[in-house]
Structure 1
Amino acid sequence: MTAPKTFRIGGDLEVRRLGFGAMHLRPETDEARAAHLAVARRAVELGVTLIDTAHLYGWGANEDLLAQALHPYPADLVIATKVGIRHTTSGEGWRHAGAPADLRGQVDEALGRLRLDRIELLQLHRLDPGVPLPDQLGALRDLRAEGKVGRIGLSEVTAAELAEARTVVDIASVQNRYNLLDREHEPVLKACEEAGIAFLPWRPVAAGKSGAQAEIAAVAKELDATPTQVVLAWLLARSPVIVPIPGTTSLAHLEENLGADAVHLTQAQYDRLSRAALSA
């Protein structure tokens, strides 16, 4: 099975289908910062054209680091970020922040940290249950009209929520948890596929589990690949709208992840993996 190497988000923004999730690049020491800057730069050297970040990742520190590592950005590089979450000292350490004024402020902050005039893909990190959905998405639609945002995406939504959102504004992407061993959001993937919406699975590898699954290990051995590469290859074969964004702080793991699009499953191997994972 030969999977397409690229996808056009929103129908026009072409990216390599293996992106990079920058969530883990939040160094707390100078030594870690140097290492994390090197990982971000190496990702681009290896052909990554989509990097995913968010205000939540270090409360802006992740965006700052990416700008330090990569600005001025290559012409084909898309930095996608997410808004809609604010830091708090109580509870889980965060709160929903989907009020229009808050979303507008977060976008302006992200533009400053990323040193951008326009965010080509802006995703709403979580729907705010305390703010009407048309108000949340209407604010992002207004920012798009002003030229501060290129395309609008969602994160952690159901198929019904996606359908409702699409009555308010065009949705270019959805970022939900999904991998070979965790397909809870299959209905959302199906909806994205039918509409041509990019589906960015976070946690695409199911860290710590893939290598322990016997069928994954067997297929990896047959292909002279790693279990991680096999599960990423399965995602690429699963649907042309899937754009995995595996993340790491390791240069070796980065190269391993990005080698997955050179791993070609046969139909029989793809079917074996699909059946085995569902019965695991």
Structure 2
Amino acid sequence: MPPTTFRIGGDLAKGRLGFGAMHLPTEKPADRQSAVAVDRRAVDLGITLIDTAHMYGYGANEEVLAEALHPYPKDLLITTKVGVVRSAETGEWALNGRPESLRAEVDHALRRLRVDRLELLQLHRIAPETPLADQLGTLRELRDAGKVGGIGLSEVTAAELAEAREIVDIASVQNRYNLTDREHEPVLAACEAADIAFLPWRTVAWGKAGDRAEVAAVAAELDATPTQVCLAWLLDHSPVMLPIPGTSSIAHLEENTAAADLALTPELRGRLDGVAGAA
């Protein structure tokens, strides 16, 4: 079996299968009640890493997590993201890496999550109009001020990761990655070399995991679901991999979490390794 924990930033020991809160509904009271129930069930199932962002519900996602889980269990890490803001005039979202905007977003996240420090903060996207040194320099200043712990990136190339590491220590990278979409394999390799946590999102290709015959065949042999097979492959593929599958359903959450106990033999892993790019 692959290792069950990973030390993010060298000191935050977390279970390797997390939960992405992005899909939780928050607009209606009944929706929020459902989201609260999913959050609490995630913790009941032993999940110690939950991913959110300012962009998810314009902060409402963070607020629901606090409503559901604060005061937080000692071993729970909630990581959030900044760098994408919504215009009050148009309602449109846009990248914004200006220092004053990042500082304001961090303060809002601290308030919504009801914490004094964000133990892991990720830059949602690199804003092209602001020098990377200014964006990461601001996050470093916030870290030095005690408002931020580890600093991470999202949707970056290997070259951007290397540039970022010249500016500040990077604890995590959150890129799109799954069994059938391995575009960011070079980034994963760089994370492995530097012992940086790699948090893949879109972990099961929007629920189409069973469309590949080999995935369905392996799932049948293991008496598992295609989704579970894809998550087990991610955990087996790299020791720095911490998948964060998202769902708004407790049943799907329980299905996803059970993937951590699914063992792949070398023969099954080899068959799954060949799935990417196959017809």
Output the TM-score relative to the length of structure 2. 0.98
Matches of 2:184 and 2:275, distance apart in 1: 18
Structure 2 runs not aligned, ≥5 long:
none
1:188 partner letter: V
Correspondence for 1:215: 214
Q: Tell me the secondary structure at the aligned position of residue 6 of structure 2.
A: strand
Q: Tell me the secondary structure at the aligned position of residue 275 of structure 2.
A: helix
1:191 partner letter: A
Post-superposition offset of 1:97: 1.2
Post-superposition offset of 1:93: 2.2
CA contact (8 A) 1:26 1:61 kept: no
2:109 partner letter: A
Matches of 2:9 and 2:171, distance apart in 1: 5
Matches of 1:276 and 1:33, distance apart in 2: 38
Matches of 1:91 and 1:176, distance apart in 2: 28
CA contact (8 A) 1:180 1:234 kept: yes
Q: Tell me the secondary structure at the aligned position of residue 150 of structure 1.
A: strand
Correspondence for 1:269: 268
Q: Tell me the secondary structure at the aligned position of residue 276 of structure 2.
A: helix
Q: Tell me the secondary structure at the aligned position of residue 207 of structure 1.
A: helix
Correspondence for 1:173: 172
Alignment of 1:6 onto 2:14: no
Q: Deviations over 1:159-212 (max 9, x none)?
A: 000000000000000000000010011110000010000000000111232111
CA contact (8 A) 1:26 1:57 kept: no
* RMSD, aligned CA: 1.2
State how many pairs are aligned. 279
Correspondence for 2:127: 128
1:237 partner letter: D
Post-superposition offset of 1:89: 6.7
Structure 1 runs not aligned, ≥5 long:
none
Matches of 2:234 and 2:129, distance apart in 1: 34
Change (3 A) 1:191 1:92: farther
Matches of 1:277 and 1:86, distance apart in 2: 34
Correspondence for 1:278: 277
Moved runs in structure 1, 4+ residues, more than 4 A? Answer: 89-92
Matches of 1:99 and 1:106, distance apart in 2: 11
Correspondence for 1:43: 42
Output the TM-score relative to the length of structure 1. 0.97
